[in-house]
Amino acid sequence: MILENQQTVKASSVVAAQVKERALQLGFSKVGIARAESLTEEHNRLQQWIARGYHGEMKWMERDPAQRTDPRLFFPPARSVIVVALNYYTEHEHEVRIPINRDSGRARSEELTGKISRYAWGDDYHEVVAGKLRELLSWIKQQHAEAEGKVCVDIQPVMDKAWAARAGLGWIGKHTNLITPEFGSWVFIGELLLNLDLEPEDTGIADQCGSCSLCIDACPTAAIVEPYVLDANLCISHATIESRTSEIRAEVAEHLEGWLYGCDICQDVCPWNHMTSGSIEPRFQPRAGNVNASLSEIQQLTPEAYAERFRGSAMKRAKRSGFQRNARALTHAAGAGVSSGSGAIQKDIHQRS
């Protein structure tokens, strides 16, 4: 019996090594394996976070937290969780143009641009990561006929960052994003729930944030209410992507700092993000107009033009109404005086170097 168990463990180790090698060949930046089990501590923290109302308008977070923290409730055959990370950093920078009309002393709205979060510059990461994971699952099935799996990329009820930390890819930073030693937090995360027993990682990576509080100090809305805790109600990303209100709440609208879609401030200041090499995935290179977008163009988009403009882009998440609300708020913030009907706060946009 002991010999049989040893052989099983060895086989599990060999298959795990083969799977990780194949994942890297498919272009993933990092890969790790965890045992499919309940994330007890994470479940408790999730419940506390929801109880404090920090999930904002993301009411779907309230649904079945037990399933969200135990992959076996989502995919009953699950025995292992293969977790992958894909570097999406590209060497481009934002540029916010707020030219002043010399006659009126006010910004010319037709020339204003807003910043877009780095993760959305290229093709939709859901499709890119999921496509690679489907290839990985297909390869595993060729090697092991009994294999069954479920691909997860952000949409499914799986705690991506928690599983990435459990699988040894990195640690959760004070800004609540996963930080990897090699790529900082500029990574997309995906999982493959598998019915095979694969040897999990021995240990995770210890928290290396130390006494640093740059992300907390830099957040203009104080959304990081304490280390490792984010109040989505105050988060610029939540306000410009997830919120479905007709106008951005005042305490956020006053501090958008030029962000049209999402926000990277807490990541931009993180020391771990200053050493990142560029992504080798060509589909993450910025599309035209996706680093900075014209506010006047966004406000003039028809439903048909919007669908075409953001086809195959993660930015569809904000919907046309949300995008145009954001553009109106930024236009008002720049002092352009364009009527928005949204009651957006008029305030100068702070430009970050």
pLDDT: is 92 or 244 the higher one?
Answer: 244
pLDDT at residue 39 tops 80 = yes
The tokens describing 306, both together, are 């919007």
Average confidence score pLDDT of the chain: 89
Whether 50 shows a pLDDT value over 90: the answer reads yes
Beta carbons of 196 and 144 less than 8 angstroms apart: yes
**Active-site amino acid positions:** 154
Residue 206's contacts (CB-CB under 8 Å, 6 or more residues apart) are 171
- Would the pLDDT of 205 be above 70? yes
CA-CA distance, 68 to 345, in Å (whole number)? 37
**pLDDT above 60 (res 100):** no
Angle between helices 125-143 and 2-25 (to 10 degrees): 140
pTM above 0.85, yes or no: yes
Calpha distance 109→104 (Å, rounded): 12
Residue 93: predicted pLDDT? 83
CA dihedral 119→122→123→128, nearest 10 degrees, is -60
Predicted confidence band of residue 96 (pLDDT cuts 50, 70, 90): low
Q: Which two tokens stand for residue 304?
A: 């048909």
Please report which confidence band the pLDDT of residue 201 belongs to, taking 50, 70 and 90 as the band edges.
very high
pLDDT band at residue 11, thresholds of 50, 70 and 90?
low
Q: Which amino acid is at 306?
A: Y
Residues 262-286 have a mean pLDDT of 95
| pLDDT at residue 102 is higher than 80 | no
pLDDT tens, position by position, 132-190: 999 999 999 999 999 999 999 999 999 999 999 999 999 999 999 999 999 999 999 99
Q: If you average pLDDT over residues 47-53, what whole number do you get? A: 97
In percent, the amount of the chain with pLDDT more than 90 equals 82
Provide the 10 A C-beta neighbour count for residue 146: 7
Residue 257 tokens read as 């700092």
Reply yes or no on whether the pLDDT at 308 is more than 50: yes
Residue 46: the pLDDT is 96
- 216-240 pLDDT per residue, tens: 999 999 999 999 999 999 999 999 9
- Concatenating the DSSP letter of every residue in 167-224 gives TTS-EE-TTSSEEBTTTBT-EEEEEEEESS--PPPS--PPP--TT--HHHHH-TT--E
CA distance 198 to 11: 8
